[in-house]
Structure 1
Amino acid sequence: MARANAIRLPEDADPPVSSRYAPRDWLPHERPTFPGSPSTPLHPTGRRIQFAIVGVVVAITGGLSNALVTANLLNLQGTLGAYAWEMAWLPAAYVMTNVSANLLLVRFRQQFGLRSFTEIFLVLYALIAFAHLFVNDLGSAIAVRAAHGLVGAALSTLGLYYMIQAFPTQHRLRAVVIGLGVSQLALPLARIFSTELLQFGEWRGLYLFELGLAILALACVLVLKLPPSDRYKVFEKLDFVTFTLFASGSAGLAAVLSLGRYLWWTQSPWLGVTLACSIVLLISAVAIEHYRRNPLINTRWLASGLMVRLGLSVLLIRIVLSEQSVGAVAFFQNLGLNNDELHGLYLWVLLGSFCGVAVSALTIRPQHTGQHLMIAVAFIATGAFMDAHSNNLTRPEQMYLSQFLLSFGSTFFIGPAMVTGIGSILSQPGNLISFVVLFGMAQNMGGLFGSALLGSFQIVREKFHASQLAENVSLLDPQVLARMQAGSGAYAHTVGDAALRNTQGLRAIGNAVTREANVLAYNDVFWMVGWLAIFTLVWIYADVLWRRFSSPAAPPSPSPVVAQASTE
């Protein structure tokens, strides 16, 4: 078969600044979808299986880097001797660098090649995991987490590229869904087995496991390399100015969202100062990009109706998905349950996440992505409303089904959301970075904003319910008096002073009031999540109707991989 003409960017796309590297000649089925993405030659079945295995290893490795820490913040707090608000810096530092990393990583792949990108960042990942073993205080732990956020962004993309190689052209969309979904399995996996790692070597047990995974992933990608891609000279000096402004602004915003509910929004002046500076920095970055001839971020395209609606949809879904971490898990921790007692719940969460990926991959259709998003949100709303009837006797078994539905929806929506945006950048590959930034910001900031919103709402409602319950607690009430005497009687053999025993009895009543106030507050959170999910469902449905009736004569646009398959 004769070689096809060299790949060229569409005329309406933003061309590379210069062409220091000559594009290769590709066969039609080998042509990379985007500059910097790997070519897609035909592979035998055995090699496709190898690509799939490596893709899973790399995606899980990248996801576990943050999941292992997130799942064990309470345990690490004692090891590092830090307050709860100080421990919040660990996941915050990861997001602070992860959210802006793709600004430069996409162009790094385009200019220096995919293989260099793969090897450099996996070596960095292994070195950073090794550095974890020498963390002795909170400050160094925060620095290491920030470095891991940068490298973790590279690994999530790398896992997706490997998964794409594992599927033939006509199933390429399923590869995208699976590649994105596999990394979402990391958090339930971490909650299931990380307790044993802590017993093995405390916090160093976590990092030893992470180092082993990093070395395994590095070995896999060195043995099984991705096919080559085209290379272009794309970096400009202004790119680094934009990156500095954008990274600084998003990092400040992430810090405020992560620590606001711990330090409280109106009690720490530096939160307001940081938020104001972050807004100024982000607006400056947007202003620079808006007037550039060859922008890193295409602000006009991001302001289009489709991208705004997609960004808001992903943001809203990420907010309601915070119910699992801020809602159910925190609810059981407040009742005194630890990770060991929640293993059954985490298994159901893992099963739901896996089923969400599998069903989404089997049913994905480019013209039905809106319906996929609505189904995901409907599952989330159902699970949240089921949790809204909890009490202090609720145990994980009563939440198996609801958390299964929530985890199913959490992985069911990611692939369709990504596919919705991919179609709009095929004709304009220069907008790839803009879309990656939009999707990453909506995912990361949506998760932080959801945690901040639901966590703050729970605190406010707990204070409200505690004041309401305390008003009805009176020693003139025979039931309250009997409860106090029962509580003080428990100390009859250890405390001889009757007044001190009565004090202990009153303290027991106070603890019961606080516990019940927290239970009622978490129920309020579950109700809030359910109604937010209903609002999101209505929003997505309205968006689907708007697109359908605004262009009634336009046929559904086929996916790029389906269109390519039809020409082969």
Structure 2
Amino acid sequence: MTQTAEKAQPQASAEASAYVQGWLKWAIALTVALGAILEVIDTSIVNVALNDMQGNLGATLSEIGWVVSGYAIANVIVIPLSAWLGDYFGRKRYFIFCLIAFTAASTLCGFAPNLGVLIFARILQGLGGGGLLAKAQAILFETFAPAEQAMAQGVFGIGVIAGPAIGPTLGGFLTDALGWRWIFFINIPFGILAVVLAVLFLPRPTASPKSTAVDWLGIGLLALGLAGLQTMLEEGQQDDWFTSNFIVAMAILGCVGLALFIWRELRTAQPAVDLRVLRFRSLAAGSLYSAVLGLGLYGALFAVPIFAQSILHYTAAQTGLLLLPGALASVVTMPIAGKLSQKIDARLLIGAGGLIIVGSMVALTHINPDTGTDELFWPLLWRGVGTVLMFLPLSLATLGPLPKEKVSSGSGFYNLTRQLGGSVGIAILTTLLAQREAFHRAVLIENISAYNPLATARIDQLSGALGAQGSDLATAHDQALKLLDNLVNTQAAILSFEDIFRVVGIVFLASLPLLLFLGSGRTGRTPPAAH
């Protein structure tokens, strides 16, 4: 054995001993993964129940939308603060507190007597849930040795990837069978289980929580900036964007608040959020790529249920079942991706996953009025596979090179960009969907006139068929025009959905050069210095 190898062996043993050993590390992984799954599912589980909530609580469409917006705003505010909160209160104590807060807020959501209480409870739920998401991933990086990170992050990734698809499926069944309140009550037993597991298995901190000074100004500026930005994204399309004074005010609040927050955090000695961690090139590039992944994970997925319910006239439960195979494909692919990540350069896997998603988006651009479950099955299944091949290696390539003490701060940024990527993606795609539908309708209407023989022949054919059913000539003609108008609206909607899927595919294709700034994601090496 060479002298270098002799030195390397005890060094590797010392590094391995710094991490949790044996069965306990997997108990920790399952505990934090359960917390993350609860949080991620609740980002989408309410979407299929909004109509029932609206009718039951007597709310308008814009008012009920705050059930979703309040949760999302609270989420993005607390995620970047999770590293500081974990240091200040202690990692285990803070994670258990988040679980208790999330479970208690879920109970309050279920019993909410009116819309105001429900929105307030959803904000509390989002504040607890955001802490779960960021701390879960950080705890895994601090618990498992580098060589075991791929499988550990695979356990975490199952919830993050499959959650957005499982949410509507579970929510649809619970809403149809038991009522909308049960989409919140279902969290209670699992939340209690997660609290018990966290108390039993999360290791006690080896050091006392840091009694650092509280950066109240930084926290306040972050809350104002992210709340303004997220509110603008959530409500922009509904309020016609910048024609609304409210949206303009939120945009100004978001930009000014975040600018002052960055200025504050770079000047203070004890910041609430360590922005200096972005000096690590892998984190900066990986966080940017994470925003693109958020667009594919949340943005593209939001369009499929809308298409299924508005064009195919699926129920909430049927829509959930449509998304379920893709979620199951993600679960099956995750351990495979974990094994591959230990042997193959992360950039190759991320690139392959991105190209698979591009292919699935191309397949979805061929939807038509006759499209059904069979035609959507394979594109959605491959989308689930491609997302996993991106998510797991990207987590390793982004956070793996960071020093252990910087993982918690890095994880907050990484998860924040994914959440914001999804919010930005949904906002952009929702606006684009409406604009492209109006555009395609205008183009199609131009072809329906008395000077177009095909259009007049179609109208005469419909009028004749309706007249044969007993309608007089004038009534039959009016009914024919209404039928043709409905056909135009349907075709315009389908063409706009095709545009949406095409844009998502182009974004994933254009993001591939970011791979050049990522590391290989190989485990078992000493973290490099900052770049």
TM-score class, shorter:
0.7 to 0.9
1:278-297 CA distance string (max 9 Å, x none): 10010001001112234343
1:311 aligns with 2:290: no
1:83-140 CA distance string (max 9 Å, x none): 4443332222112111121343322322332332233222222211111122233332
1:474 aligns with 2:449: yes
1:179 aligns with 2:179: no
Compared CA separation, residues 531 and 503, structure 1 to 2 (3 A): same
Partner in structure 2 of residue 68 of structure 1: 45
Aligned to 2:43, the other structure's residue is in SS state helix
Give the CA deviation at 1:150: 1.0
Compared CA separation, residues 407 and 339, structure 1 to 2 (3 A): same
Paired residue type of 1:185: A
Partner in structure 2 of residue 254 of structure 1: 230
Mapped partners of 1:441, 1:278: distance in 2: 15
Out of 3, 27, 42, the residue aligned to residue 21 of structure 2 is: 42
Could you tell me whether the CA contact under 8 Å between 1:107 and 1:235 is conserved in 2? Answer: no
Could you tell me whether the CA contact under 8 Å between 1:302 and 1:434 is conserved in 2? Answer: no
Q: Which moved more, 1:315-324 or 1:123-132?
A: 315-324
Partner in structure 1 of residue 6 of structure 2: none
Could you tell me whether the CA contact under 8 Å between 1:491 and 1:501 is conserved in 2? Answer: no
Paired residue type of 1:443: R
Paired residue type of 1:414: F
Give the CA deviation at 1:225: 4.1
1:177-196 CA distance string (max 9 Å, x none): 32133233222222223223
Q: Which moved more, 1:512-521 or 1:150-159?
A: 150-159
1:540 aligns with 2:517: no
Compared CA separation, residues 213 and 366, structure 1 to 2 (3 A): same
Partner in structure 1 of residue 364 of structure 2: 387
Compared CA separation, residues 356 and 558, structure 1 to 2 (3 A): closer
After TM superposition, the structure 1 = structure 2 runs for residues 277-356 of structure 1, keeping only pairs within 5 Å, are: 277-302=253-278, 305-335=281-311, 336-356=313-333
Give the CA deviation at 1:468: 1.0
Partner in structure 2 of residue 37 of structure 1: none
Q: Which moved more, 1:121-130 or 1:272-281?
A: 121-130
Question: What's the TM-score, normalizing by structure 2?
Answer: 0.86
Aligned to 1:266, the other structure's residue is in SS state helix
Give the CA deviation at 1:301: 4.4
RMSD: 3.0
1:207-241 CA distance string (max 9 Å, x none): 2212232223223333444343423425323x221
1:413-447 CA distance string (max 9 Å, x none): 223222223244307x3x44542342133111110
Out of 447, 451, 455, the residue aligned to residue 430 of structure 2 is: 455
Compared CA separation, residues 370 and 490, structure 1 to 2 (3 A): farther
Aligned to 1:425, the other structure's residue is in SS state coil
Compared CA separation, residues 193 and 102, structure 1 to 2 (3 A): closer
Compared CA separation, residues 342 and 414, structure 1 to 2 (3 A): same
Partner in structure 1 of residue 7 of structure 2: none
Q: Give the percent of matched residue pairs that are identical in Structure 1 and Structure 2.
A: 19
1:442 aligns with 2:417: yes
Give the CA deviation at 1:562: 5.4
Mapped partners of 1:48, 1:287: distance in 2: 39
1:525 aligns with 2:528: no
Compared CA separation, residues 485 and 380, structure 1 to 2 (3 A): same
Compared CA separation, residues 211 and 109, structure 1 to 2 (3 A): same
Mapped partners of 1:422, 1:243: distance in 2: 24
Could you tell me whether the CA contact under 8 Å between 1:488 and 1:503 is conserved in 2? Answer: no
Could you tell me whether the CA contact under 8 Å between 2:79 and 2:133 is conserved in 1? Answer: no
Could you tell me whether the CA contact under 8 Å between 2:79 and 2:416 is conserved in 1? Answer: no
Paired residue type of 1:172: Q
Give the CA deviation at 1:524: 1.3
Mapped partners of 2:280, 2:273: distance in 1: 13
Give the CA deviation at 1:81: 3.6
Aligned to 1:228, the other structure's residue is in SS state coil
Give the CA deviation at 1:261: 1.5
Could you tell me whether the CA contact under 8 Å between 1:254 and 1:448 is conserved in 2? Answer: yes
Structure 2: 5+ residue stretches without partners: 1-12
Could you tell me whether the CA contact under 8 Å between 2:173 and 2:317 is conserved in 1? Answer: no
Mapped partners of 1:192, 1:272: distance in 2: 36
Paired residue type of 2:207: D
Give the CA deviation at 1:374: 1.2
Could you tell me whether the CA contact under 8 Å between 1:181 and 1:414 is conserved in 2? Answer: no
Could you tell me whether the CA contact under 8 Å between 1:487 and 1:508 is conserved in 2? Answer: no
Question: What's the TM-score, normalizing by structure 1?
Answer: 0.81
Out of 261, 265, 276, the residue aligned to residue 241 of structure 2 is: 265
1:102 aligns with 2:75: no
Mapped partners of 2:368, 2:388: distance in 1: 28
